[in-house]
């Protein structure tokens, strides 16, 4: 079980996340949802201590989990330009020497001999994804893992997530696409105003969609009335 308790995070004096509590089981894919700016990336970065000020406790299977014990896939991965894909993956697999780069690259068939600066947006995403798999982590934080992927790679990522779930990993995953959430998540938490407003089980995802629609409708109603008003 991944147990995040009392996570508070922010930038300078600005509080972004206030006392977040979240539990996710081994073998669970847990969606982190919310509007642009709700704090999903801040949540992941705070867990990895990559910028935002952080307080709280994180444990995995009953023992404290350090930031280095989580694999983080950023929404826009960054690589050193003068590094080949192969060199990057070799670096990532240092903590997990049994990882077979050649076998896993059979899924995406990236040109690993090429410099990463020649990679397209989708290729960078796939390389970063292989990188966190190479790390052999039990807990993965995936920030919009599907953005930038073509249709085939999207299907492959579905297969990878299923394999990771079968292997008992715990995944927190942000996405803006409801169809993706429906397909891959076992549960999903909705972030708003710095807090988890509600957590939905898979069976309750229709209620989640209704919850989001109602929120949007309430927020845009006044704006639409203004737009439609004759000037
Ligand atoms: N480096 C930073 N310094 C100050 N404020 C920041 C910084 N990064 C993000 N923020 C603020 O933190 C809040 C949450 O941003 P965050 O990127 O976590 O949202 P998000 O839910 O991931 O959004 P999106 O769906 O657009 O990716 C926003 O108000 C944003 O302006």
175 C-alpha to ligand 1 centroid (Å): 15
Question: What are the residue ranges spanned by the domains of the chain?
Answer: 2-74+141-225
pTM of the model: 0.94
CATH architecture of 2-74+141-225: 3-Layer(aba) Sandwich (3.40)
Q: Whose CA is nearest to atom 5 of ligand 1?
A: 11
Whether ligand 1 lies within 6 angstroms of the CB of 32 is answered as: no
> What would the DSSP string read from start to end of 53-94?
EEEEEEEETTEE--GGGEEEE-SS----TT-BHHHHHHHHGG
Q: What is the pLDDT of residues 99-144, one digit of tens each?
A: 999 999 999 999 999 999 999 999 999 999 999 999 999 999 999 9
Whether ligand 1 lies within 6 angstroms of the CB of 231 is answered as: no
61's torsion region: left (phi>0), alpha (psi -120 to 50) or beta? left
41 C-alpha to ligand 1 centroid (Å): 7
As a whole number, mean pLDDT of residues 27-43 equals 96
pLDDT at residue 163 in the model: 96
Q: What is the pLDDT of residues 174-226, one digit of tens each?
A: 998 899 999 999 999 999 999 999 999 999 999 999 988 888 888 899 999 99
As a whole number, mean pLDDT of residues 7-24 equals 96
213 C-alpha to ligand 1 centroid (Å): 22
């Amino acid at each position: 079980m991944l147990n995040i308790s009392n996570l508070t995070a922010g930038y300078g004096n600005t509080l972004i996340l206030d006392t977040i509590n979240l539990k996710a089981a081994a073998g669970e894919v847990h969606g982190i949802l919310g509007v642009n700016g709700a704090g999903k990336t801040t949540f992941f970065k705070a867990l990895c201590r990559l910028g935002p000020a952080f307080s709280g406790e994180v444990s995995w299977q009953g023992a404290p989990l350090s930031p280095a014990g989580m694999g983080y896939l950023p929404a826009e991965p960054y690589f050193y330009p003068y590094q080949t894909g192969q060199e990057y993956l070799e670096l990532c697999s240092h903590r997990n020497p049994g990882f077979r780069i050649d076998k896993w690259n059979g899924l995406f068939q990236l040109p690993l001999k090429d410099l990463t600066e020649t990679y397209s947006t989708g290729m960078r995403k796939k390389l970063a994804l292989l990188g966190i798999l190479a790390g052999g982590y039990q807990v993965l934080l995936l920030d919009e893992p599907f953005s930038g992927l073509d249709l085939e790679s999207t299907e492959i990522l579905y297969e990878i997530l299923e394999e990771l779930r079968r292997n008992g990993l715990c995944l927190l995953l942000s996405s803006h696409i409801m169809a993706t959430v429906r397909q891959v998540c076992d549960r999903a938490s909705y972030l708003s105003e710095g807090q988890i407003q509600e957590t939905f089980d898979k069976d309750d995802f229709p209620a989640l969609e209704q919850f989001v629609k109602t929120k949007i409708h309430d927020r845009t109603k006044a704006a639409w009335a203004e737009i439609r008003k004759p000037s």
